[in-house]
Structure formats: C-alpha cells, structure tokens
Structure 1
Amino acid sequence: MKKFARRGAEAPRSAAIIGAGSAGLFFLQQLIRSGCESVVISDLNAERLATAARLGATEIVHAPTESVVDAVRDLTGGAGADLVIEAAGYDVCRAEAVEAARERGTLGLFGYPERRGSSPFPVDRCFRKSLSMEWISKTQSEPGLASFRAALAAIGRGDIEIDHCLESMHELDEAPAAMDLARRHGDGAAKVGFVLPGGARWAQT
C-alpha cells in the first residue's frame, strides 16, 4: 500500500466517512487512491451519496434511517473500521465515529463544531477502545501550505475530481438565497459557491 505522507503510516484497509460534502468526498477519493480496500460513507442526502457511489465508495449509508455503525460492523465482521473520518460536524456524528472505529483504530475529526464552547463527547468509549484521534483544522496556516499545495497538484493531475463542487454556483446578487441553500446542506450539492467579478470563485459550505 502507499504510505500516508503526513504520518508515514500505511493506508488503512477499511475506513468510514461520516459526511459526503466536499470534504468527505475529497477524503473518499484520497483513501481509494491510497489503496484502502473498503470505504463506507454516510450522509443525510441521497444526491450526495449518489456522487459518493460514483466516486467509488464501497457502501453508502443514508442517515438517519440507516446506521453507519451497523454498515461498518457488517462489512468488517464486527471489528469496526481502521479509520473513521467525521466530516459533518455534529455531536451525534462524532459519537457514531467512535462506535464505528475498531479497537485501537484512528479517528480523523474534521467537521466544524456544532456549537461554541463545550460539547458532549464519548470519552469513556474512546478510552476503552484505545482510539487515536487527530483534529484537523487551520490547514491554511500550515507552514509552507504543504497539504494545500499537494491538494492543488492532485486536482491538477486529475487524481481528485472536483466537478461536483462546481454544480451550485451563484452570482453575488443571489447571496441571500444561496446562503439559505447552504443552510439546507445544498439540497444535494456538495458545495454552494459564488462567482466573483473577474471570474474568480469563492466557495461557501
């Protein structure tokens, strides 16, 4: 398997991603290219899940009527995933990530906090399962912007597809409606963005 450049570790054999927005779909593609054998991805929106299936997800889970924890356990014979990435930002999703991970597995916590201040988190379960956790934020302040530059290079080579992030672009005078759309999770769009004067693009979640 290819090595993870950041930590020098081998790619996981099994993974789960909670949240199929732009970040979750990026993680999905990166995991597949790294050699991960199976990736389960869950989301509230069927359109986003259809994109995930097209990009190569092993199994898609339509929350909340379907359980990502059950899907991961079924796929791994009850063991849980080597790596679980939480890319939605809700307290319940972080709890699901803990339950979906195997003993001594790894959590990647990317989703923006649901609220400011303290939030509930299943610390005891993490302790009992001996999980490793990494909180990912402030990538734009990374020295040398190594991850950002690596992402641009992968997109430029065609290794990572981004067309699904450009399907819901809006003019600035449509900002109020576009922001309402973003609050509804894009109604299936992976990203909601604005077209700025001069052709520049700025994306809003």
Structure 2
Amino acid sequence: MSHEVSGVIAPGKGEPVRVETIVVPDPGPGEALVAVQACGVCHTDLHYREGGINNDFPFLLGHEAAGVVEAVGDGVTEVAPGDFVILNWRAVCGQCRACLRGRPWYCFNTHNAKQRMTLAATGQELSPALGIGAFAEKTLVAAGQCTKVDPAASPAVAGLLGCGVMAGIGAALNTGGVSRGDTVAVIGCGGVGDAAIVGSRLAGAAKIIAVDIDERKLVTAQRIGATHTVHSGEADVVEAVRELTGGFGADVVIEAVGRPETYRQAFYARDLAGTVVLVGVPTPEMKLELPLLDVFGRGGALKSSWYGDCLPSRDFPMLIDLYLQGRLDLGAFVTETIALDEVEQAFERMHGGNVLRSVVLF
C-alpha cells in the first residue's frame, strides 16, 4: 500500500517551489515511514532549488524534521511505530572503516531509503533533499535516519537538531573541542553560527566573539550568548578579535560562512596552536590560498566539521534533555511557523536575512 500526501518540490533550477501530490511507498526492509510534524526551512534546501548541490531534479525538499514513526519494514529494531523521532541525514552503517575504528560520526557509508517517492501525476521519481524529503506530510527514510527522543519536546524545535542547529553546536562541542575558559570567535551569525555560539556557551567558554556584517545578526548573537561583537564591515576582523583576546587571538575560531576571505580571517584570528573549524559550506569553484609557512608556523589544527561531527543516537537525546531542563533554548532559533504552501516566501525572507528559522508545521 502506498500513501498520497502533499509535498513541496523544486521542479527545476531556480524555479519557484510548489506543492504537489506525491506517492510515498510503505517501508521495505530497513526503512521507516514517518508522519512529519514539523520541518525547518534550511539554507541547504535553497541550495537544492538553485542547483547548488546537484541537478537531480525534481527534488522533494525539507530535511530538518521531527515526527512520529507510522510503520517500519522488516529487520528494523532501532525504532517502532509510535516513536517520536528526529530525522537525520547520516544513518551510520556500523561496518565501514570509520565505524569499526570507533568513529561512527565519520561514517563513510551512510545510507538512505532504497525505494523512491514519486510524483502522483506522472510517476516521476523524486530526489529527497539529504535523503529525507520532509516538506511532506509523510516521508520514507532509512530506519537509521530516525533517532528516538523524549516526546515532551516540541516538534517545531526538536526538528532543528536535524541539520543547522546540530551542525553549529557540534562544530563547537565536537569538532572544535571548546572547553571551560576558552576564547571563541564565530564568523557568520546565521542559524549555524548562532548555534555555534550556543554550543560554546554550553561548553563554558569565557569569551564568545560574534562576527558578522549585519548589525541585526549581531544583536541576535549577543542575545543568545555572545559576550562581544565585531561588525566586519566597520572593523578589521583579525585585529578586532586579537584586541578582544589580549592581543593573542581566539583559542577556537568557527567559520560559519564558507568563503575564502572569511576562512583567511579565521586562520589569522586564532591564537598560536589554536583551532579553526570550517562549518560554512563553500561552493565548488572556491579556492583557498595561504602561505604554507604560516600554516606550519602557527601550529594548531585546521578542521572541517561534517554535520557538527555528531552521532545522532548520542547527541540528539542529550540535547533534547538539555532543552527540556531549560538549559538549551532551542526556541530562540524559531522566528516563525508557517504552512506548507509558504516555503517559497520563507526562502525570500531568508535571502533578506530576516529570519533565523522558518518552521513548517503540519
């Protein structure tokens, strides 16, 4: 038996998204059918619409989601019907060289559902964003993409851990290893950068410097935990960060923009033997040039953060517990809740820098 539901598709490069009827199969072996309750509008969805990921149109957009498992296929033991889950886009295999070495957050063989969802009108196969496709009333995923969490959490905030918020918090806690008393600079204060600020605060950083060219974003960054701000359109970022850190630079600099010029700022704004974390996503044509002697002479670590180097089964329940204890304000990331047919307008507001997250509620 299959299910006909409404979903948001991107029909072609640069074309406005639209709501269509899609067909979702019953789960096969290793798969789960999830009734989506909420899904955040992430910049990655916009990248898909613009052809910035690949050209496998049409896409079924949406991936920052939470919902309830309706059915599971043969062999599924991770979740059961009725479980409240957050969806993730890196279902670990448990068998690759990273998993076998005890580093499943680097899994090199993550997987998605094998069956494809289709357009009801034509039967055309859809490409689900990040293997999820959650701008839909129901979606089909690999069971390993479902992480069971406390159902007391609001779906509107829980789903945000599925991508941007986890990427930022994880960039600070997991990749950057921010610890008590550290100085941290975060370059780029969108949703991911702000989450890195929150993660640094959770870790006990003594000083958190938010850097952005948009004054509105700096105000928000300070509200959620930044101790200092630098307007990159009015000050030399490297000099400003050094001035705020006793002339040394920050222990950890998190680059949440994904551009060569901001990465260079991050590289030179860190202290000797400090750490740079790249969590902003660059485009394929971007190139980086740095003097190799500076790379050698400054020491430390230059890291890239995949999904905040998170392990969903470990990190999602822990962060939801912190949220329910009042120690992690996930609600601060939700600017507005919208209906399924308002995703295109949410992309426009995202372009204008007017929202942290719009969240589709079902």
- TM-score tier (shorter): 0.7 to 0.9
Q: Supply the AA of the counterpart residue of 1:74.
A: E
Hey, what does 2:340 align to over in structure 1? 172
Q: Which residue of the other structure, out of 270, 295, 300, is the alignment partner of 1:126?
A: 295
C-alpha displacement at 1:21, in angstroms? Answer: 1.7
- Give the alignment's Cα RMSD to 1 decimal: 2.6
* More displaced stretch, 33-42 vs 161-170: 161-170
Structure 2 distance, partners of 1:147, 1:66, is 37
2:243 is the alignment partner of 1:74: yes
Higher helix share: 1
Relative to structure 1, the CA distance from residue 148 to residue 136 in structure 2 (aligned partners, 3 Å threshold; closer, same or farther) is: farther
Structure 1 distance, partners of 2:339, 2:314, is 32
The one-character-per-residue Cα deviations of 1:44-73 (angstroms, maximum 9, x if unpaired) are 222221122122322111222233322211
Q: Which residue of the other structure, out of 356, 359, 362, is the alignment partner of 1:190?
A: 356
Hey, what does 1:105 align to over in structure 2? 274
C-alpha displacement at 1:112, in angstroms? Answer: 1.2
Q: TM-score of the superposition, structure 1-length normalised? A: 0.79
2:318 is the alignment partner of 1:153: no
Structure 2 distance, partners of 1:150, 1:138, is 16
C-alpha displacement at 1:183, in angstroms? Answer: 2.8
C-alpha displacement at 1:157, in angstroms? Answer: 2.0
SS in 1 for 2:264: helix
SS in 1 for 2:210: strand
C-alpha displacement at 1:9, in angstroms? Answer: 7.6
Structure 1 distance, partners of 2:263, 2:208, is 17
Q: Supply the AA of the counterpart residue of 2:188.
A: G
* More displaced stretch, 151-160 vs 45-54: 151-160
2:231 is the alignment partner of 1:62: yes
Structure 2 distance, partners of 1:162, 1:62, is 25
Structure 1 distance, partners of 2:173, 2:361, is 34
Hey, what does 2:216 align to over in structure 1? 47
Structure 2 distance, partners of 1:154, 1:83, is 24
Higher strand share: 2
Judge conservation of contact 2:258–2:280 (CA < 8 Å) in 1: yes
Q: Supply the AA of the counterpart residue of 2:314.
A: A
Structure 2 distance, partners of 1:54, 1:9, is 20
2:199 is the alignment partner of 1:30: yes
Structure 2 distance, partners of 1:31, 1:9, is 6
SS in 1 for 2:272: strand
C-alpha displacement at 1:11, in angstroms? Answer: 3.5
Hey, what does 1:203 align to over in structure 2? none
Q: Which residue of the other structure, out of 253, 258, 261, is the alignment partner of 1:84?
A: 253
For structure 2, which runs of at least 5 residues remain unmatched after alignment? 1-171
Judge conservation of contact 1:98–1:122 (CA < 8 Å) in 2: no
The one-character-per-residue Cα deviations of 1:22-54 (angstroms, maximum 9, x if unpaired) are 222222122223221111111222222112212
Q: TM-score of the superposition, structure 2-length normalised? A: 0.47
The one-character-per-residue Cα deviations of 1:81-114 (angstroms, maximum 9, x if unpaired) are 111111122221111100100111011211111x
Relative to structure 1, the CA distance from residue 65 to residue 94 in structure 2 (aligned partners, 3 Å threshold; closer, same or farther) is: same
Structure 1 distance, partners of 2:256, 2:305, is 10
The one-character-per-residue Cα deviations of 1:123-169 (angstroms, maximum 9, x if unpaired) are 623332113022111459x5553233332222222222123321133
* More displaced stretch, 146-155 vs 7-16: 7-16
Judge conservation of contact 2:224–2:332 (CA < 8 Å) in 1: no
Relative to structure 1, the CA distance from residue 67 to residue 130 in structure 2 (aligned partners, 3 Å threshold; closer, same or farther) is: same
- The structure with more radius of gyration: 2
Structure 2 distance, partners of 1:109, 1:11, is 21
Structure 1 distance, partners of 2:305, 2:195, is 14
Aligned sequence identity (%): 27
Structure 2 distance, partners of 1:10, 1:176, is 40
